[in-house]
Amino acid sequence: MLNILAFLLNIIDQYIFWLYIVLSFFIIFYLRSYLLAHSDRVNTVFSIEKEVAAHREGRAMSAIGVVLAGAAILTAVKFYIVPTMDIEEWVEPTPTRVMQLQIQPREEATATATPTPEETSEPTATPRPRPTIEPEMLVTPTAMPTPQPAPAQCPDANVRITSPGMGAVVSGSVDVIGTANHGSFQFYKVEFSQGEEPSAWHVVHDIQRAPVIGGRLISFDSRSVPNGVYWLQLTVVDTTGNFPPPCRVRIVVQN
């Protein structure tokens, strides 16, 4: 453990300039995302789009804060922690195994006991025939198929989530499959909420501006939330800002 910590401190001490450059690229990227989201929130007239843009602004500012905190930690390690300690003292020496050979006296090594025929004779056991098993007697177990959760019953055929099904147990990255279409399609979004009675909805990634028919709507990373019961909601918005009844499906996150 100390060897790994010493290695990381050595990397920070030698390559602090390049680490600053990498962090600067991240800050520029998230600052651009914030400015785009702010422009979308100011220029849009729909409340749903304002909500999504505000969510993107907050996510970009949080990322910038994390990057700045990382830069502050690197600066403290480089200019305050590393100069006050000797990294070489932290490195643990690798133990070396020394093999010792034991030399046996020649007289003892050459002296071997020769067994007499009387001592080496052992009774010979007569082998018994093994019972044979007829093929009809072998029973191969048949694996029972695992029942799959039924798809959610959605009020609109063009706003449907077909996978995961109702009550599905999910883990890791989950592909949300279904249909998001409308005659005057503008965009759709997939949201999630925790608990049996959902109240606060959060957009997964961002709004999507291309319709989908029987395909992948979005990918939901269940590792970003605690284990428990969640609801996924699909909403399709038309060009007038209205939307048909959303489709909801209940899932259980177990990572």
Of residues 195 and 116, which shows the higher confidence score? 195
pLDDT at position 95: 58
Tell me, yes or no, whether 105 lies in a domain.
no
Confidence at 84, pLDDT banded by 50, 70, 90: confident
The partner residues of 218 in beta bridges, in order of sequence, read 176
pLDDT class of 11 with cuts at 50, 70, 90: confident
Examine residue 113 and state whether it is found in any structural domain, yes or no.
no
Give domain status of residue 122, yes or no: no
Tell me: do 163 and 84 sit in the same domain.
no
Query: Residue 91 is encoded by which pair of tokens?
Result: 């490195």
Name the nearest CA neighbour of 173 among 131, 213, 225, 250. 225
* Domain boundaries, position 227: 159-253
| Cis-peptide into 164, omega within 30 deg | yes
**How many independent structural domains does the chain possess?**
2
- Asked if residue 246 and residue 167 are part of one domain, the reply reads yes
Sheet containing 173-180, strands listed edge to edge, beginning at the edge strand earlier in sequence: 159-163, 173-180, 212-221
Domain boundary among 72, 90, 108: 90
Of the residues 68, 90, 112, the one at which a domain ends: 90
Residue 213 sits in a domain whose CATH number is 2.60.40.10
The vertex-158 CA angle with 156 and 164, nearest 5°, equals 85
pLDDT tens for 180-211 read: 999 999 999 999 999 999 888 999 989 999 99
In a domain, 53, yes or no: yes
Residue 117 located in a structural domain: no
12 inside domain: yes
Q: Which of 74, 90, 106 is the last residue of a domain?
A: 90
Query: What single-letter DSSP state applies at residue 77?
Result: I
Residue 152 lies in a domain: no
Are 248 and 165 part of one and the same domain?
Answer: yes
Reading the block at residue 119, the tokens are 């001592």
pTM over 0.75: no
User: Do the domain assignments include residue 171?
Assistant: yes
What is the per-residue pLDDT across 129-179, written as a single tens digit (0 to 9) for each? 676 655 555 556 666 666 778 888 899 999 999 999 999 999 999 999 999
Q: Percent of the chain scored above 90 by pLDDT?
A: 48
